[in-house]
Structure 1
Amino acid sequence: MAKARGVALGGALLVSLLAAVPALADKAAAERCAAKLPPEAKAIYVASVPLLVPGADGRAVVTDQTRTLVLSGKINHMKASESAQAAANCLILR
């Protein structure tokens, strides 16, 4: 349960960040941004990219992928929100 709470934190920020996904489409800039991410944030970015298709709910995609990575032990639940926000900063460039 504590893991899920960590993922839920920062949800409002993800909504605002990912709301602009279709308007800002610069995949090269997004990849340059992602190259600078810490490993846990990069894992969220990599897991989320293929699912961010036109019409997708960016917040739901990032939240679901973050939750999956936390529950599988691939990212620390205490850093999940921070990592998701960092990944979202790059994802909004796509």
Structure 2
Amino acid sequence: MTIMKAARAFGFGGVIAAGLLGTLLSGTAALADKAAADRCATKLPPDAKAIYVSSAPLLVPGADGRAVVTEQTRGLVLSGKIAHTKAAESAQAAATCLVLR
């Protein structure tokens, strides 16, 4: 599921900045610093932290980061663990930390 499809499914319309999330979590090599990413995550709001925690272990080399975050966010929304009204914002916040991994 693409980010924009997920956004429509969650009722966000064009709220998600797909370009930002795509850039942050594209399959390109990043400056891998798990400690920095974890420090960043400690400052996240609860919903964003939940996305970070569920997505981080799945971001292995070769993984499609955007798809991982989208699917994890979707699952958390559908299970009622995070608010759908803040899911887009929370996914973006989580992505800013996840990109450091």
Flag structure 2 segments of 5+ consecutive residues without an equivalent: 1-6
Cα-to-partner distance string for 1:40-60 (whole Å, 9 max, x where unaligned) = 000000000111000000000
- Length, aligned pairs only: 94
Q: Are residue 23 (structure 1) and residue 30 (structure 2) matched?
A: yes
1:6 alignment partner in structure 2? 12
Helix, strand or coil for the counterpart of 2:84?
A: coil
Of 82, 85, 97, 1:75 maps to 82
Flag structure 1 segments of 5+ consecutive residues without an equivalent: none
Q: Are residue 46 (structure 1) and residue 53 (structure 2) matched?
A: yes
Whose helix fraction is larger, Structure 1's or Structure 2's?
A: 1
Say which structure, 1 or 2, has more relative contact order (CA 8 Å, 6+ apart): 1
Q: Extract structure 1 runs of 4+ deviating beyond 6 A.
A: none
Compute the RMSD of aligned alpha carbons: 2.1
CA distance, structure 2, for counterparts of residue 7 and residue 71 of structure 1: 17
Shift of 1:16: 0.8
Q: Are residue 33 (structure 1) and residue 44 (structure 2) matched?
A: no
**TM-score, length of structure 2 as denominator length:** 0.83
**TM-score, length of structure 1 as denominator length:** 0.89
- Residue 32 of structure 1 aligns to which amino acid in structure 2? R
Cα 1:19–1:70, aligned 2, differ >3 Å: closer, same or farther?
A: same
Between the two proteins, what is the percent identity of the paired residues?
Answer: 68
